[in-house]
């Protein structure tokens, strides 16, 4: 059974690996045996995260500055992985952002930024790794959606639009790549207490409203993202593609 979750010899790319869910999932993949290349915009933060993950797991973890909105930066990220390890088995499209606002107050720039990071970033990274994965006849692409890929929420139109698109990218690429050995799946988290949710955590009324939507009535614990990503990255999920794993305390079950 443990072989089904063994990532020994695999190489994973993690976007947004410097903190939050990206760092947590990087630790999980490394503990399962994968080596990693992790990227984010802030150099100090990504270097520090790589040092910590490598020390905690004993795996090789290569940090790099990455902006997923810039195709040249994404190409350099992928080239670094090829140069360092000679292979790319797993891509986790985790980098993301959220700007909360009622529609009449959203600037063009803010709406565009959310789509650029959450949608164009996922597209850029998929387009860059797919040729390597198809050539190898194996690949695992894991996209970070959200409960808001599946349900609407007032004041979140930039984010829900972008995460709905992530789900459709997932489904379309799953169909497109189904006979190549490459699977494409989506994790849809509910609320985790990370930087992206700082505005909620600092606003008790907003936090209470959100928790009121969660049947389990609590925030997720960070470790609760680990098993889903290892499952989708490993041999256990070989016949799973185009799927959603909700990790949301039951939010979208209602």
Ligand X SMILES: NC(=O)c1ccc[n+]([C@@H]2O[C@H](COP(=O)([O-])OP(=O)(O)OC[C@H]3O[C@@H](n4cnc5c(N)ncnc54)[C@H](OP(=O)(O)O)[C@@H]3O)[C@@H](O)[C@H]2O)c1
91, 96, 124, 159: the catalytic one is 159
**Interface region with ligand X, contact rule CB under 6 A, candidates 56-64, 78-86, 91-99, 123-131:** 91-99
Distance CA 173, CA 184 (A): 6
Assess 221 for contact with ligand X (CB under 6 A): no
Q: Minimum CB separation from ligand X for residue 152, in Å?
A: 14
Binding of residue 112 to ligand X (CB under 6 A): no
> Applying CB under 6 A, does 196 fall inside the site for ligand X?
yes
Count of residues touching ligand X (by CB under 6 A) = 31
Positions in 5-44 near ligand X (CB under 6 A): 15-16, 18-22, 39-42
Catalytic: 159? yes
Q: Taking the complex as a whole, how short is the minimal distance between the CB of residue 74 and ligand X, in angstroms?
A: 9
Nearest distance in Å: CB 133, ligand X: 20
Instruction: Catalog residues that contact ligand X under the rule CB under 6 A.
Output: 15-16, 18-22, 39-42, 45, 66-69, 94-97, 117, 121, 144, 146, 189, 191-192, 194-197
């Amino acid at each position: 059974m443990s072989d089904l979750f063994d990532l020994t010899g695999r190489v994973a790319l993690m976007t947004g690996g410097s903190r939050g869910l990206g760092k947590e999932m990087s630790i999980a993949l490394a503990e399962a045996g994968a080596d990693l290349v992790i990227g984010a915009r802030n150099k100090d933060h990504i270097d520090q995260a790589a040092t910590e993950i490598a020390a905690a797991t004993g795996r090789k973890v290569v940090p790099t500055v990455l902006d997923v909105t810039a195709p040249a930066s994404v190409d350099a990220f992928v080239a670094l992985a090829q140069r360092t390890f000679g292979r790319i088995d797993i891509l986790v499209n985790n980098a993301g952002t959220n700007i909360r606002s009622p529609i009449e107050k959203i600037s063009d720039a803010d709406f565009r930024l959310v789509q650029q990071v959450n949608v164009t970033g996922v597209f850029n990274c998929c387009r860059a790794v797919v040729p390597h994965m198809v050539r190898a006849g194996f690949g695992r692409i894991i996209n970070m959606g959200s409960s808001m890929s599946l349900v609407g929420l007032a004041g979140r139109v930039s984010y829900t639009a972008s995460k709905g698109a992530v789900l459709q990218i997932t489904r379309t690429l799953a169909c497109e790549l189904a006979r190549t050995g490459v699977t494409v799946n989506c994790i849809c988290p509910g609320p985790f207490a990370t930087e992206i949710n700082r505005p909620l955590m600092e606003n008790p009324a907003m936090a209470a409203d959100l928790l009121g939507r969660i049947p389990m009535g609590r925030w997720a614990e960070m470790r609760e993202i680990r098993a889903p990503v290892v499952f989708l990255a490993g041999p256990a999920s070989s016949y799973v593609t185009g799927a959603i794993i909700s990790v949301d305390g039951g939010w979208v079950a209602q």
